Structure 1
Amino acid sequence: MKKNKILIVDDIEVNRMILAELFKDDYDVIEAENGLVAFDIISKDYEDIALLIVDIVMPVMNGFELLDILSKNVLYSNIVKIVISGADDEENKRKAIKYGASDLIVKPFEPYEIRNRIKNLMTNLETEKLREENNKLREYFKIRSKFENFIDKIPAGVALCEIGKDIKDGLRVIYANDYLYNEFGFFKDNNDTYVKQNNTSIVKGDLDNIIKCSIFDKESSETVVDKFRIINQDGTYSWTMVSGKKIEQTDNSAIYFAVFMDITKNIVYENELIHRLEYDELTDIYNKELFYKKTQEMLINNLNINYVVVCLDVEKFKLINDLYGLEEGDKILKTIAKCIKLNMNSEKSVFGRLYADHFALCFEKFDGYLDKLVYLTKNCFANYPIDLNVIVKLGFYEVENHTITVNKMCDRANLAIDSIKGNYKKIYAFYQENLRNELIEEQEIVNEMYKALKNEQFNVYYQPKCNLITGEVIGAEALVRWNHPKKGILTPNKFIKIFEKSGFITNMDEFVWESVCRQLRKWLDSGYKIVPISVNISRIDIYNKNLCNTVASVLRKYSIPADLLHIEITETAYTENPKQLIEIIRKLKKIGIIIEMDDFGDGYSSLNMLSEVPVDILKLDLKFLNPTNKKDSNKNIIKSIIYMANELNLEVIAEGIEHSDQIKYLLNLGCNIGQGYFFSKPVEPYEFEKLL
């Protein structure tokens, strides 16, 4: 007895071998390594293939793409389709059902369990098919004997139609009930004659397709099912489904019994469902899957055109959600999507929302595209109803190889964004190959940082603050070093930004605070002359509601007077969230903490900031006094800042002193405290004890 065939489609050979072994007794097994190979097999052998088992994730053509093609051709409708997926989620189930799959099986699976499951499914389908055929046969005899009286009683459009052997012979309606005549705008007059009363009509192209589908075939007794559009009097479209069964045939024509049903509501619902599956629900632009698909199609179909892939990311979007609520965050995402839709040429570009606050665009490269995108993102929130400082970062990848997956292109554009995160001076970056190496190094740090903290690889060093006149040590700044077992001593510039990006900076800051307080306690107990030690708090710490309680708790734990612990903040923390920063500083000052503003002069310095933020000390960045920088204007900036600080009764500490000339200049301006390599590099605690 001839066996039915089963086609197993999976790019992993061992998976195909396992499934082939399970079904070899019941089926002739055919294997394919991807959807494209499988489609070639099906198109040649579809009549004998009873069952298709297809994996979703495959190269060249994935499982859903194969099912999509098969679902559009009635020739393949009798093949039972089973989908295999590595993820048990509703989205995959919806897609599987949409493309005509009978079941979805999640990996990993028990081999014999899947065999029994599919065997039961096939048995049930065969039973259902037999029952359906018997029902149709019974209906056929009823219609044959009583169709004239029966047709007029059916609450749907019903007709007997003759279809010629050739398409040029067309379709002829032999008999139709009142319901069908009314549907097409015909109504009986007083003479019992049908008269056309409105301008509804079938779209001719749709009718031709139905005739093509129903061309007379002596060997065929299949039910013909199709749909067509009706143009209504107001110009709108309605959809009608026709289901026809051949009941008579001659050498030149066939008589079909046809039922017509209005399926407009079904079509509208189906289109809405497809829209939900393909478009992002919040922003109404392409979702990730459709963006990838449409972009890949555009690139492959236009190999001679230069394209650019751009990813967009809202800086610190999570904080915006935390501070202003998810509803406000959603409004921001909708604003970005609207801005993109209004400004991008839809014929030459594809755009979509990948996830969260991440968007992506792909467009044909044109002169000035960088300036346009930068202008677009900067002005996107110009008319936003709330005064929010929303910063959108851009990552650019200029497409060189059209065959690279869009997913990888977006990864590269996002790498460019990652390289400028936290840098308020830059809002865009281009992908460079070295970014990949940097990403690998960054990931190594992320993988090791928690273990390094647990294994005490981090050490606190102390850099003295000195009186510029006497050279006496009057304080110090605590700076962390990573004693890496393979890479040696790593300075903060190698890892701090990565810690900030990952959120680990909070763990590191708390480690430093505790280490400093423990060291101060040791020095106090040993009778050393004690000087205040300053520690840093990152911009991330500013958003921690328990920050003040944490600092106070550490001081109490080691019985350290609050004035011995100075806390350094940066200007950028103020520019990002001034209200939150001011509130935190006031709480810290209430418990006696001295506040220093670090790197003053390196950011957006302003008199207004100093008048609002209750700091005690300014730490002045001396890059303006670099020997290679001869501009008098830079010296005037230093002079103005020191004068301004004196007027506000703020102490000034000059950091970055490397030359004696800088000391003389600072003393002449009234700055008496400094820090830098001229006095000492950061040293370990036992070396700092000698300085004390």
Structure 2
Amino acid sequence: MRSSRFINDIKDNRVVTELLRHRRVYLFEYFSAADTMVVYDQALNVQRTIERYVASVCAQGCVLPEDRWQLRELLTGQMHGPLELREIKEGKLLYLEADALPVQDIREGQVFVGYAKDVTPEKERERSLLRQAQHDPLTQLYNRRMAKTLIARYLEEKDPYASCGLLVIDVDFFKNVNDRYGHLFGDKVLREFARLLNTLFKREDVLARIGGDEFLVFMKDAGHSVVLKKARQLSEAVRKLVFEENDYCMTCSIGVCFLPENVSGYSYEQLFQNADWALYQAKENGRNQYAFCDNLHRYAEGENTEIKTEDIDARYLHNDLISTAFELFEKTNSFEAAISLFLKIVGIRLQLDRITIINTDIKEHRTSRQFQWTSPRAPAALEQQSGFTKEDFLTLFQSYDEYGTTVLQYDNMDMYSPGGAALLMQGGAKTVVYAAMYSEGEYLGAIAYVVCGSKRFWTQQSRKELGEITKIINAYLTKHLAANAINRGMMAAPDFDRLTGLLSFSRFREEIEHKIVGGYAGGHIIVYSDFENFKYFNEKYGYAVGDQVLKEFSDYLVSNVHAVGDIYMTRVVGDQFAVYVPYRGPEDSVLFVDRVNQVFQRRQAEKYPEASLRLRSGIYEIEPDCLSASAAIDKANFARKQLRPDTRRAVLRYDRQMEARQTLTNELTNGLSRAIERGEFKLYLQPKFSLKDFSVIGAEALVRWERENGTVLYPDQFIPILENTGRVVALDLYMFEQVAEFLKRGIQDGLRLYPIAVNASVALAKNPENARRYDEILRRHRISAELLEIELTETAAVFEFDRVKKLFACFREKKMQTSLDDFGAGYSVLNSVVDIPINTVKLDRGFIARCTENQRGIYFLQQVVNMVKSLGYQVICEGIETREQVDIMRAVGCDSAQGFWFSKAIPAEEFREKYMR
């Protein structure tokens, strides 16, 4: 095909041809009518002619498929260049720059003359420069700027059903590495760490070195358990890195922030600050570990609560502060917005640097902040919950003036301990006014009005004004908290447990609630577990070691609890954990949970052979009629509580029998006071008889619960429940008062009186004041203490020996008789009998039954009776049911007895009529 006029005109131009050769440019002509492409070499000689170019070759040639449409559009005049095209040649990717212009030729139709230039070297240089700009030169990971860009882009485009995690990592004590081993070795450490990150994490994750020994990992589309596993794996894998040059052992600290699904609106800066806060916690706890950010709102960017100074209505900067407070709190829809704005106005008006609303738990000796405003020149304070001593609190509390305020100066804090002074004056404070907050007489905390620049002296009128402002804030804050059990923003419930990284209990409960309410919880169970007597482990090894065990247990659960279906895990509180996992069947579930517990116990036994850690678990299969997550969790927890320390069984499944027991437990827990007020607990008396002449010598007070529905329950059906819930003391005191009233009426009616023994729970021994309360009841009814005897079981005496000894000593001081019940039931620690001040020892019915089976047992029983009597105690036997037992007990020297052979327990009025007339 004949060349166009344009080609012929430049063909003999040496300058043009040299320029084409030097620039690696090739010319081509495309004849549209014939669909023919003519390609020229750099000397403008025809290199090749390609027919049916657009129809076939353009559609199937070397140009990449996604770029072919551009070439087609260029050769038909519908697109103008220059264009960038990519083609594969000899297995390599090449980049071409191409353009074409139409040249009209009458005989050949429309002709396009264009050029193609190989720009691959330029592209490679650009790519290299771009990589250098995006990557850290030492580790080849992304640098801080590129990581931020990629993460921000992901967050903007994130699928609402996707979740992700951010890890901020520091190599521990890296400065010491450079100082001790040199910077070349330090560089090797960082490269090895980067290599490890590339090994552990996916290609699509963002891995970056953000400065020095600081690294960042952003895990895209990763679930909570995956993020938790990776944090644990990284922490463990770093410790296993080996460097042949020396004995350097590498560790790292990791801060983790997790962004759940259906949560949006978070920026890179917010996630980074949250993860960085968690990293700080890991360092504070001793490094070489990871810590979870427990609350995404910890560094959430404000919405309506962050109001700029220029947005404050000018009149608020001049009006009376009291009037301004009422107007803002009454007219602003959001309490958070109102409190934030008002604190800012107060800070500006009074030229303060910081205002902190502080919540104080007097019982737990803990304090935390609820809201805080800071000026640009002041740091935040009380960023995490802190502890204080009773002495420091009393010093502060007693210093409040008539306005509820006290002024503290940084150079006059000698009355406080060093820790107390640091807590009260933290954040660079020079002068702080603390104004107390109360609710119905209960101390809730204080508001701290802080000046950081220099000391300030407050007049009496100024302190009075701060006291009034505090009362208004406190009133609206109390109202707000009452209306919102879980507040958003600064007071939002945490999403994750700070220690273990598992879901927070509130978040766990919310997730399970969604499953149950939505009808998706069928085929799942709740497993509620704890470590038996874990407080003793903490006392022996320290709380830091205890926390490490809890962390290892959470890691163990994440790594070993696998199933098809939804799985959620939480640390409820302390050493208590809950897991939501698919159901395996009644027996399989018990075996599965027991196996999981046993394996972890064996691992810990190797580390702490003297500790004997024991896990206990309750299981509840979620039923179709289960109404809520709280109900499901409570049932699993109730099953756990039924496990006794003295049994080998460590896993218990919730069943119908247990459901009836829980119903009764709830009824007692919530309705005990009402049942007592209604007189549902009735006094019964079982007479005691002398074995010499079978005369009545006294009685034991027993209780029957005659419920509103007409059923009658015996003590063994409800007393253990009251003991477990700590409510038994109320019933003990009530029954003692019933006995006192019974004796009082007997005295008034001139009847024969007998000493009455009243059972007491070991819970009484926990408070020596209970002896005084018993004495007050006797004084009120004018009853001689000699007519009352307090019975406590031998088991209680053994396990609470010191407390029981003190309590019985108090009873003896009040002239009351004391008795040790159930002697021989299983412990029979004779030195306990010797040391505890008692008058009577009551032999257990089971002990008597065993000993009266043969002559050898009878001989042993006689020796026990003789020994106890030789110590000066009276001996009474209970549970006598046959004449044979009566004869044996008389023969071995027992003084008195009670049991069904003589009389069962009868209503108090029947006893009165039968024995006291």
- The normalised TM-score by structure 2 is 0.43
Secondary structure of the structure 1 residue equivalent to 2:901: coil
Is the 1:207–1:228 contact (alpha carbons within 8 Å) kept by the matching residues of 2? no
Q: What displacement does 1:346 show?
A: 1.6
CA shift digits 1:299-347 (9 cap, x unpaired) = 9xxx9xx997531246799xx79xx99x999779737624624765724
1:617 aligns with 2:846: no
Q: What displacement does 1:450 show?
A: 2.1
- Specify the alignment match of 1:663 in structure 2: 886
CA shift digits 1:12-69 (9 cap, x unpaired) = xxxxxxxxxxxxxxxxxxxxxxxxxxxxxxxxxxxxxxxxxxxxxxxxxxxxxxxxxx
1:473 aligns with 2:696: yes
User: In the aligned structure 1, how far is the partner of 2:860 from the partner of 2:651?
Assistant: 29
Q: What displacement does 1:634 show?
A: 6.2
- Specify the alignment match of 2:306 in structure 1: none
- Specify the alignment match of 1:276 in structure 2: 294
User: In the aligned structure 2, how far is the partner of 1:163 from the partner of 1:511?
Assistant: 96
Is the 1:624–1:635 contact (alpha carbons within 8 Å) kept by the matching residues of 2? no
CA change 1:406–1:483 in 2 (3 A) is closer
Q: What displacement does 1:490 show?
A: 3.1
- Specify the alignment match of 1:230 in structure 2: 208
Q: What displacement does 1:510 show?
A: 1.2
Deviates most, 274-283 or 560-569: 274-283
Paired residue type of 1:527: G
Paired residue type of 1:270: N
Q: What displacement does 1:553 show?
A: 0.8
Q: What displacement does 1:443 show?
A: 2.9
Q: What displacement does 1:556 show?
A: 1.4
Q: What displacement does 1:370 show?
A: 2.7
- Specify the alignment match of 1:509 in structure 2: 732
1:310 aligns with 2:546: no
CA change 1:604–1:371 in 2 (3 A) is farther
After TM superposition, the structure 1 = structure 2 runs for residues 91-490 of structure 1, keeping only pairs within 5 Å, are 184=135, 198-202=138-142, 228-230=206-208, 237-238=215-216, 267-271=271-275, 272=277, 275-277=293-295, 278-282=495-499, 285-288=502-505, 309-313=526-530, 334=547, 337-338=550-551, 340-341=553-554, 344=557, 346-348=559-561, 351-355=569-573, 358-361=576-579, 370=594, 373=597, 393-397=616-620, 410-420=633-643, 428-490=651-713
1:676 aligns with 2:889: no
CA change 1:381–1:570 in 2 (3 A) is farther
Paired residue type of 1:200: Q
User: In the aligned structure 1, how far is the partner of 2:83 from the partner of 2:623?
Assistant: 55
Deviates most, 466-475 or 602-611: 602-611
Q: What displacement does 1:658 show?
A: 1.0
User: In the aligned structure 1, how far is the partner of 2:728 from the partner of 2:839?
Assistant: 25
Identify unmatched segments of 5+ residues in structure 2: 1-81, 88-92, 96-119, 158-203, 219-266, 279-291, 296-494, 563-567
CA change 1:238–1:398 in 2 (3 A) is closer
User: In the aligned structure 2, how far is the partner of 1:328 from the partner of 1:295?
Assistant: 35
Percent identity between the two aligned chains = 23
CA change 1:448–1:686 in 2 (3 A) is same
Paired residue type of 1:518: E
Is the 1:642–1:669 contact (alpha carbons within 8 Å) kept by the matching residues of 2? yes
Q: What displacement does 1:676 show?
A: 0.9
User: In the aligned structure 1, how far is the partner of 2:611 from the partner of 2:766?
Assistant: 17
User: In the aligned structure 2, how far is the partner of 1:656 from the partner of 1:381?
Assistant: 44
- Aligned CA RMSD, in angstroms, stands at 5.5
User: In the aligned structure 1, how far is the partner of 2:867 from the partner of 2:273?
Assistant: 68
Paired residue type of 2:597: L
After TM superposition, the structure 1 = structure 2 runs for residues 541-690 of structure 1, keeping only pairs within 5 Å, are 541-626=764-849, 630=853, 638-639=861-862, 641-689=864-912, 690=914
Secondary structure of the structure 2 residue equivalent to 1:346: helix
Q: What displacement does 1:175 show?
A: 8.8
CA change 1:288–1:447 in 2 (3 A) is closer
User: In the aligned structure 2, how far is the partner of 1:289 from the partner of 1:655?
Assistant: 51
User: In the aligned structure 1, how far is the partner of 2:730 from the partner of 2:597?
Assistant: 37
Is the 2:500–2:554 contact (alpha carbons within 8 Å) kept by the matching residues of 1? no
In the alignment of these two chains, the number of paired residues is: 475
Secondary structure of the structure 2 residue equivalent to 1:679: coil
Secondary structure of the structure 1 residue equivalent to 2:805: helix
Q: What displacement does 1:166 show?
A: 9.7
User: In the aligned structure 1, how far is the partner of 2:153 from the partner of 2:619?
Assistant: 51
Paired residue type of 1:451: R
CA change 1:359–1:210 in 2 (3 A) is closer
CA shift digits 1:577-625 (9 cap, x unpaired) = 2222211111111121211111222243322322332222111111244
Is the 1:163–1:211 contact (alpha carbons within 8 Å) kept by the matching residues of 2? no
Q: What displacement does 1:459 show?
A: 2.2
- Specify the alignment match of 2:915 in structure 1: 691
Q: What displacement does 1:235 show?
A: 8.6
CA shift digits 1:498-551 (9 cap, x unpaired) = 333344322221111112122222223333332211112112222234201101
After TM superposition, the structure 1 = structure 2 runs for residues 48-59 of structure 1, keeping only pairs within 5 Å, are none
Is the 1:335–1:380 contact (alpha carbons within 8 Å) kept by the matching residues of 2? no
User: In the aligned structure 2, how far is the partner of 1:375 from the partner of 1:616?
Assistant: 50
Paired residue type of 1:434: Q
CA change 1:267–1:452 in 2 (3 A) is closer
Is the 1:625–1:634 contact (alpha carbons within 8 Å) kept by the matching residues of 2? no
Q: What displacement does 1:473 show?
A: 1.0
Is the 1:396–1:431 contact (alpha carbons within 8 Å) kept by the matching residues of 2? yes
CA change 1:199–1:298 in 2 (3 A) is farther
Deviates most, 529-538 or 627-636: 627-636
- Specify the alignment match of 1:101 in structure 2: none
CA shift digits 1:259-315 (9 cap, x unpaired) = xxxx9976542335663134323555443256569999999xxx9xx9975312467
Question: Which protein has the larger Cα radius of gyration, Structure 1 or Structure 2?
Answer: 2
Paired residue type of 1:358: Q
Paired residue type of 1:688: F
- The normalised TM-score by structure 1 is 0.55
User: In the aligned structure 1, how far is the partner of 2:814 from the partner of 2:862?
Assistant: 33
- Specify the alignment match of 1:77 in structure 2: none
Paired residue type of 1:528: L
Is the 2:851–2:860 contact (alpha carbons within 8 Å) kept by the matching residues of 1? no
Greater RCO (CA < 8 Å, at least 6 residues apart): 1
Is the 1:532–1:564 contact (alpha carbons within 8 Å) kept by the matching residues of 2? yes
Paired residue type of 2:754: V
Paired residue type of 1:588: F
User: In the aligned structure 2, how far is the partner of 1:333 from the partner of 1:166?
Assistant: 62
User: In the aligned structure 1, how far is the partner of 2:806 from the partner of 2:748?
Assistant: 34
Q: What displacement does 1:406 show?
A: 7.4
Q: What displacement does 1:410 show?
A: 3.7
- Specify the alignment match of 1:69 in structure 2: none
Paired residue type of 1:279: F
User: In the aligned structure 1, how far is the partner of 2:725 from the partner of 2:524?
Assistant: 32
CA change 1:227–1:645 in 2 (3 A) is closer
